[in-house]
Amino acid sequence: MTIRTKTPSLLDNPPIPVQAKLMAAWTSFIFCIYVDYLRLCKGAAGIRQRRAARGGNPS
């Protein structure tokens, strides 16, 4: 008697470990926070430049 097992094909998707999913979610979250922080800093720099150009308080 032979036991047949299903051989995996190249198109099968192996399960992704939970740790990898959590790591990807955490990385994307931190990246979004970083981008928002950079946008905030660039916006503040633009405001300072406009105030300095008008002769106002540059700080």
The residues spanned by each domain of the chain are 17-51
Q: Phi first, then psi: give them for residue 11, nearest 5 degrees.
A: -90, -5
Find out whether 58 and 48 touch, Cβ atoms under 8 Å: yes
List, for residues 9-52, the tens digit of each pLDDT value. Answer: 777 788 899 999 999 999 999 998 888 887 777 776 666 777 77
Instruction: Give me the pLDDT at residue 55, please.
Output: 73
Instruction: Give me the pLDDT at residue 29, please.
Output: 93
Judge whether residue 58 has pLDDT over 60: no
Instruction: Give me the pLDDT at residue 25, please.
Output: 97
Taking the whole predicted model, whether its pTM rises above 0.75 is answered as no
Put residue 55 in one of left, alpha, beta given phi > 0 → left and psi -120 to 50 → alpha. left
